[in-house]
Amino acid sequence: MYKHLFGPVPSRRLGMSLGVDLVPPKVCSYNCVYCECSKTTTPTAQRDEYVPVDEVLAELGRFLEENPAPDYITLSGSGEPTLNSRIGEVIRFIKSQSRDIPVAVLTNGSLLSDPKVRRELLPADLVLPSLDAATEATFRRMDRPVRAVRLNDCIQGLVDFRREFSGRIWVEVMLLAGYNDNPEDLARLREALVRIAPDRIQLNTLDRPGVLADLQAVSPETLERIREDWGLDHVEIIAAVARRQGPAYRRDTEAAILDTIARRPCTVEDLQGILGLHANEVNKYLGALESDGRVEPVRLARGVFYRLRRSEEVEPSGSGG
User: Which of 71-80, 223-232, 289-298 is modeled with the greatest confidence?
Assistant: 223-232
The pLDDT, as a whole number, for residue 2 is: 81
The H or E element containing residue 34 is: none
The model's pLDDT over 21-66, given as tens digits with 9 standing for 90+, comes to 999 888 999 999 998 777 899 999 999 999 999 999 999 999 999 9
Rounded to two decimals, what is the model's pTM?
0.79
pLDDT band for 281, please (50, 70, 90 cuts).
Answer: confident
The model's pLDDT over 151-181, given as tens digits with 9 standing for 90+, comes to 999 999 999 999 999 999 999 999 999 999 9
The model's pLDDT over 130-159, given as tens digits with 9 standing for 90+, comes to 999 999 999 999 999 999 999 999 999 999
The upper half-sphere exposure of residue 240, i.e. CA atoms within 13 Å in the direction of its Cβ, equals 11
pLDDT band for 284, please (50, 70, 90 cuts).
Answer: confident
Tell me the pLDDT of the chain averaged across its residues: 87
Query: Which amino acid type is present at position 277?
Result: L
The pLDDT, as a whole number, for residue 173 is: 97
pLDDT band for 316, please (50, 70, 90 cuts).
Answer: very low
Hey, what's the torsion of the CAs at 287, 288, 293, 298, to 10 degrees?
-20
Tell me the C-alpha distance between 204 and 185, whole Å: 15
Percent of the chain whose predicted confidence (pLDDT) is above 90: 58
Does residue 130 or residue 264 have the better pLDDT?
Answer: 130
Please give the distance of CA 72 from its chain centroid, rounded to a whole number: 14
pLDDT band for 77, please (50, 70, 90 cuts).
Answer: confident
Q: Is the pLDDT of residue 319 over 50?
A: no
Strand partners, 202: 172, 236
pLDDT band for 242, please (50, 70, 90 cuts).
Answer: very low
Q: Which parts of 197-317 fold into alpha helices (H)?
A: 220-230, 251-263, 268-275, 279-291
The pLDDT, as a whole number, for residue 317 is: 42
pLDDT band for 241, please (50, 70, 90 cuts).
Answer: very low
Mean pLDDT of 196-218: 86
Contact 136, 27 (CB under 8 A): no
